[in-house]
């Protein structure tokens, strides 16, 4: 089975994490949990990007040293990931000694290939994007993405990366791997950008000092994007040993594995055009996929601190619970498209999907098993409900592998809704009254078995809740790896929990 390497972007440690960071990280976590469940060896990495002008400026504005500032911010990322049950295997920090070493090995290798040359740069720089800007990209003299910031005019000596040398290599990569960038509209966008011609870019700075010093030329620091992309190698331990840079994890996950980089559309060009060229220059192999999701707005407007319309992940978790948070964003928005957040929709989905459709079904089912069979049921369920024909384990797997999280949850909910309809049609209470014990047992076994499958399919999304569902139904917790037997529709022989706690308590809250 293919080893799988999953990464999120490393987030700027200039400020505390926000909803966009949480969205990518939860999605990556669901994917990592899915692949582990399928039995793949997974290495899942997230982390923080701690250099660059923006962070140096932010620290200065707070009267702090940059290191002191990032050390505080990084803790807020780590504690949010803990709260959200993110199961990363490694947290990379670009101020770590490991990253310094990997970045230096990488830089030296690219310089050794003749792909770095010194020249003077004169032009604009946006510290919001941490990017050089052509004059024609500016709108009224400002970066269109960061209209509240001024762009800086820069004149300095830099190392330039011969990005243009990799034009043909990138064209071949795009021609041979039409799924390299996903979804397809982002692939076309990047492909069109590539056709306009790649230009060399500066990859060191001499007018700022907050960065990794260039080997043997310490008055240069490595440009923040060049530094940041290398994190994906640091996490695997590449380049620590300069005489033998290929670490065992690198060999397993980079050379023999499938590499999936997740991000939003804002940084897909860096990952799909710059990063492959850097890797080619260092003589390393290409990532398999770059998947770019969309951006959120809130109630139709851009999310921004200055207008006060932020979405606080912690607040939502306190109010509705961590699993509701994990569920909502992946169910509500198509992964890959932009989405507009509304607190009303969150509340509605919590109440309808989680509390009513799922939570009530579990509590009704277990209550009926307790009432009619003293908690123990041993019966053959009816044949699978018809929805199983359209949304099977196979369909679930295909959708998960294609990062179609919403579609996967839609499918699981067709099961849950079909089970709810089934209860209404079969009316177990009427069967009990009529003394039709065998039929009643088969109906309840169908519900228990249907819920078992639904809980297993939901495990990568809402692992805490599904563990509770399985426990309430009297099943062992989901094993680390799903087996073909567990995916079979089978006779039920279980004792449900004596008392079930409510999975999704009512939230009395005016959104």
Active-site residues: which are they?
18, 21, 126, 129, 143, 146, 302, 305
Taking the C-alpha atoms of residue 357 and residue 352, their distance in angstroms, rounded to an integer, is: 6
Quick check: 291 binds ligand MSP (CB under 6 A)? no
SS3 (DSSP) at 408: helix
Quick check: 77 binds ligand MSP (CB under 6 A)? no
Q: Write the CA distances from 131 to 24, 53, 125, 143, 433, integer angstroms.
A: 22, 10, 6, 10, 72
Closest to ligand MSP by CB, 336 or 474: 336
In the complex, least distance from residue 292 CB atom to ligand MSP, rounded to whole angstroms: 8
Quick check: 212 binds ligand MSP (CB under 6 A)? no
Site for ligand MSP in 243-272 (CB under 6 A): 263-264, 266-267
- Under 8 Å between Cβ of 451 and 496: no
Quick check: 348 binds ligand MSP (CB under 6 A)? no
In the complex, least distance from residue 13 CB atom to ligand MSP, rounded to whole angstroms: 8
Q: Read off the tokens for 40.
A: 């793949």
- Under 8 Å between Cβ of 184 and 192: no
Among 55, 80, 92, 228, binds ligand MSP (CB under 6 A): 228
Among 29, 49, 323, 353, binds ligand MSP (CB under 6 A): 49
Closest to ligand MSP by CB, 113 or 309: 309
Q: Write the CA distances from 360 to 291, 357, 441, integer angstroms.
A: 36, 6, 19
| Residue range at the interface with ligand MSP (CB under 6 A); choices 19-27, 382-390, 457-465, 500-508 | 19-27
| Residue range at the interface with ligand MSP (CB under 6 A); choices 55-63, 191-199, 228-236, 329-337 | 228-236
Taking the C-alpha atoms of residue 27 and residue 329, their distance in angstroms, rounded to an integer, is: 9
Please tell me whether the peptide bond between 191 and the residue prior to it is cis, using omega within 30 degrees of 0: no
In the complex, least distance from residue 222 CB atom to ligand MSP, rounded to whole angstroms: 13
Among 193, 295, 422, 489, binds ligand MSP (CB under 6 A): 295
Beta bridge partners of 126: 131
In the complex, least distance from residue 173 CB atom to ligand MSP, rounded to whole angstroms: 18
Among 83, 169, 194, 303, binds ligand MSP (CB under 6 A): 303
Kindly determine how many residues on this chain lie close enough to bind ligand MSP according to the rule CB under 6 A.
19
Three-state secondary structure readout of 272-331: HHHHHHHHHHCCCCCCCEEEEECCEEECCEECCCCCCCCCCHHHHHHHHCHHHHHHHHHH
Closest to ligand MSP by CB, 310 or 486: 310
DSSP 426-491: H-HHHHHHTT-HHHHHHHHHHHHHHHHHHHHHHTTT-HHHHHHHHHHHTPPPPPSS--TTTTS---
Among 4, 21, 220, 287, binds ligand MSP (CB under 6 A): 21
Contacts to ligand MSP by CB under 6 A: 9-12, 20-21, 23-24, 49, 228-229, 231, 263-264, 266-267, 295-296, 303
């Amino acid at each position: 089975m293919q080893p799988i390497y999953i990464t999120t972007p490393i987030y700027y440690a200039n400020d505390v994490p926000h909803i966009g960071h949480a969205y990518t990280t939860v999605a990556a976590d669901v994917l990592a949990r899915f692949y582990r469940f399928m039995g793949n060896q997974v290495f899942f990495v997230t982390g923080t990007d701690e250099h660059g002008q923006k962070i140096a400026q932010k620290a200065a504005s707070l009267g702090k040293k940059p290191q002191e500032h990032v050390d505080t911010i990084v803790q807020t990322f780590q504690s949010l990931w803990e709260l959200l049950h993110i199961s990363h295997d490694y947290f990379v920090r670009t101020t770590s000694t490991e990253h310094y070493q990997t970045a230096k090995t990488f830089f030296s290798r690219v310089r050794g290939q003749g792909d770095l040359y010194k020249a003077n740069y004169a032009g604009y720089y946006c510290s919001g994007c941490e990017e050089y800007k052509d004059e024609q990209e500016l709108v009224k003299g400002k970066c269109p993405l960061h209209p509240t910031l001024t762009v800086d005019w820069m004149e300095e000596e830099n190392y330039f990366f011969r990005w243009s040398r990799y034009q043909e290599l990138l064209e071949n990569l795009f021609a041979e791997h039409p799924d390299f960038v996903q979804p397809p509209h982002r692939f076309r966008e990047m492909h069109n950008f590539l056709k306009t011609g790649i230009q060399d870019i500066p990859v060191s700075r001499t007018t700022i000092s907050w960065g990794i010093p260039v080997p043997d030329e310490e008055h240069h620091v490595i440009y923040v994007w060049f530094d940041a992309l290398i994190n994906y190698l640091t996490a695997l331990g590449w380049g620590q040993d300069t005489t033998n840079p290929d670490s065992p994890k690198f060999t397993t996950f980079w050379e023999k594995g499938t590499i999936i980089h997740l991000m939003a559309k804002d940084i897909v060009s860096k990952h799909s055009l710059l990063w492959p060229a850097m890797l080619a220059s260092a003589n390393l192999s290409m990532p398999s996929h770059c998947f770019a999701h969309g951006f959120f707005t809130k109630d139709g407007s851009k999310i921004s601190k200055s207008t006060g319309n932020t979405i606080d992940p912690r607040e939502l978790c306190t109010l509705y619970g961590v699993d509701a948070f994990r569920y909502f964003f992946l169910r509500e928005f198509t992964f890959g498209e932009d989405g507009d957040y509304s607190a009303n929709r969150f509340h509605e989905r919590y109440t309808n999907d989680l509390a009513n459709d799922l939570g009530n079904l579990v509590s009704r089912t277990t209550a009926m098993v307790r009432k009619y069979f003293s908690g123990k049921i041993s019966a053959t369920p009816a044949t699978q409900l018809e929805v199983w024909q359209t949304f099977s384990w196979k369909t679930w797997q295909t959708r998960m592998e294609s990062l179609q999280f919403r579609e996967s949850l839609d499918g699981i909910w067709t099961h849950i809704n079909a089970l709810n309809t089934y209860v209404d049609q079969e009316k177990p209470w009427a069967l009990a009254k009529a003394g039709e014990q065998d039929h009643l047992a088969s109906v309840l076994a169908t519900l228990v078995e249907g819920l078992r499958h639904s809980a297993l399919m939901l495990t990568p999304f809402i692992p805490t809740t599904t563990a509770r569902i399985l426990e309430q139904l009297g099943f062992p917790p989901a094993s680390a790896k799903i087996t073909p037997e567990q995916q079979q529709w089978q006779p039920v022989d279980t004792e449900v929990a004596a008392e079930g706690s409510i999975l999704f308590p009512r939230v009395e809250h005016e959104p």
